[in-house]
Amino acid sequence: MHSPQQYLAAQAAPANGGAHLPSVGRREPALQAIGITKNFGSLEVLKGVSMELYRGEITAVVGDNGAGKSTFMKVLSGEHAPTGGQLCVNGKEVLLRSTQDAQTFGIETVYQDLALAPDLSVAENVFLGRELKAPGWRGRIGMLDRPQMLAESTRILTELGAKLKSYRATTQSLSGGQRQGVAIARAIKWARHAILMDEPTAALGTRQRDMVYEAIRAAAQRNLAVLLISHDLPQVLALADRIVVMRQGVAIANLVPAEVTVRDVVDVMLGAKPT
């Protein structure tokens, strides 16, 4: 099992040892969960969830309230340590003890509450915790490279199609969709393997949702694996390459959007249709 430091060393010099697990199917998953369990006291929330996320693919996880979707995502993002099971990044088993560990392994998360600091500027939020130091002596005395941080943030958000009046503005002055765009831009900026998104369009208007969906597609086009938790089934069908249905802590079905309808998905979610 790899700690973040060992993983980074292995990335720098490709592994000879390392706990390589056999890749499933034709491609190696960017992120793989194998038999993940999670207990809170005597409550068994995840009962052996296995899932593979592939580069360039959007995998939607759907399920009724209490199905374990958010808990599963928190295990992948390092917020919750799993009780059992294995997590693999690029085929190497890893140990995620914190969100920082997940970030070190190239996994970024867009939280439902966005995890933005409302009083900081767009650029400061995009680089929060990973600020750029100025070149030369200014960097040696701890000075930030604010122009570069601003330019980078502007570039990413422009590429995502987010139109902001100012990138110096605090994120609290932005609309809900723009804030979501900043959170996704930050994830895209730093993710190397996978982006996890929990209800990214909750409480957004139609136009803002479309903007966020475009940003999600852009993330996948950058060869990142995208995991999307959403209750918006019509959009999930339009957006996702694969749908995993969870019920009572178990991943019970793998569906191809082109082959199912919203009614089919709901039936599987509620157990009205055999899997």
The label of the residue with tokens 């490709």 reads 14
Beta bridge partners of 229: 61, 198
Name the minimum Å distance from CB 135 to another protein.
14
**Residue owning tokens 């055999």:** 274
Tokens of 101: 């560990």
Contact status: 254 vs another protein (CB under 8 A) = no
Which residue among 144, 250, 252, 266 contacts another protein (CB under 8 A)? 144
Smallest distance, another protein to C-beta of residue 117, A: 4
> Pick from 111, 198, 200, 236: which binds another protein (CB under 8 A)?
111
Reference 146, options 121, 178, 116, 119; nearest CA is 121
Between 119 and 270, CB nearer to another protein: 119
**Which of 99, 180, 230, 235 is close enough to bind another protein by CB under 8 A?**
99
- Cβ atoms of 59 and 179 within 8 Å: the answer is no
* Residue span binding another protein (CB under 8 A) among the ranges 80-88, 138-146, 213-221, 223-231: 138-146
* Dist. CA 38–CA 193, nearest whole Å: 23
Q: Residue 81 interacts with another protein (CB under 8 A)?
A: no
Bridge partners of 63? Answer: 246
Closest Cα to residue 2, out of 23, 22, 27, 20? 20
List of residues contacting another protein (CB under 8 A) = 99-100, 103, 109, 111, 113-121, 124-125, 128-131, 133, 142-144, 154, 164-170, 172-173
